[in-house]
């Protein structure tokens, strides 16, 4: 059975968070939590928050035990850009794109859904 959690509009560039998301894929939930807790990257806070939400969803909504769960997918997708302007020479302006991310984590217990 699969359980999912999504965190949207996170104020971090997807490029900076994807490497940690790829690192936790295929690991058990306890290993992934340890990896996220001891990482010093800014994205670790948001990925950890989403991972804990997915674990809570699995325990509360699906009745699964957290000890048996595996991180099947951890994806960081690009969200909308916040557009800002910086003044430049001769009265012109250049665009600054402040990037946002959508973080999606899918957990599974290794058993097929259904009967």
| pLDDT per residue as tens, the chain (115 positions) | 899 999 999 999 999 999 999 999 999 999 999 999 999 999 999 999 999 999 999 999 989 999 999 999 999 999 999 999 999 999 999 999 999 999 999 999 877 665 5
In a domain, 114, yes or no: no
C-beta separation of 40 from 101 below 8 A: no
Q: Is residue 113 part of a domain?
A: no
Are 73 and 105 spatial neighbours (Cβ–Cβ below 8 Å)? yes
Range of the domain at 86: 2-108
- In the chain, the number of structural domains is 1
Q: Which residue stretches of 11-100 are H helix?
A: 14-24, 29-37, 42-60
pTM of the shown model:
0.89
- 82 within domain boundaries: yes
The torsion angles phi and psi of 80, rounded to 5 degrees, stand at -70, 155
- Would residue 100 count as lying in a domain? yes
C-alpha distances (whole Å) from 47 to each of 23, 37, 87, 112 are 11, 10, 35, 26
Q: Does 89 fall in a domain?
A: yes
CATH number where 89 lies: 3.90.470.10
């Amino acid at each position: 059975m699969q359980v999912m959690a999504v965190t949207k509009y996170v104020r971090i560039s997807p490029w900076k968070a994807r490497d940690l998301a790829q690192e936790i894929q295929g690991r058990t939930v306890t290993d992934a939590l340890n990896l996220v807790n001891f990482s010093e990257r800014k994205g670790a806070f948001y990925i950890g928050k989403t991972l804990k939400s997915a674990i809570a969803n699995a325990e509360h909504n699906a009745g699964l035990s957290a000890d048996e769960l595996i991180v099947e997918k951890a994806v960081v997708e690009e969200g909308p850009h916040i557009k800002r302007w910086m003044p430049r020479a001769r009265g012109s302006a250049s665009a600054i794109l402040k990037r946002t991310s959508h973080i999606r984590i899918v957990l599974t217990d290794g058993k097929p859904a259904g009967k």
